Structure 1
Amino acid sequence: LQYKCDWYGKKLIQVNPSYTSQICANCGKNNHRLELNKSEWLAVREWDCPNCGKHLDRDINAAQVILQK
């Protein structure tokens, strides 16, 4: 990807995607998997932020958190 960015005059920014589905894109608080273990958390597709109450889709939320970073 870097060489393509160089061709088109763009900047490549790499973001570590770890834990981005656990951070609320609305308020920025980490929910720590809502006290679920890893396999239970992976089965959760939507969740409500315990801090601000926003209803979030896990994948869309992760994408928004990555864009914010």
Structure 2
Amino acid sequence: MSVRKLLLKPKLIAQSKTLTGLYPHNPKKQTDIPTAERLLRAFYNFTLNLLQQEIMSLLGLSPFITTWWIIRLRN
């Protein structure tokens, strides 16, 4: 089982939420079943945008810890 299936999908369903902005060719498209690849691509250019903040919040991650982790990976 993946983090996406264990954590993200149930929270999206429980909160009746969808994620918007995961499809570069159609940024207004919404999904409640994001693929792991699309979630990772959302963090390719880590700028702590609204989509990234929403994904981190659904996963229970603090923006501070996630920012620190991304910076460490880049160096």
| TM-score normalised by L of structure 1 | 0.30
| TM-score normalised by L of structure 2 | 0.28
**Bigger RCO of structures 1 and 2 (CA < 8 A, at least 6 apart):** 1
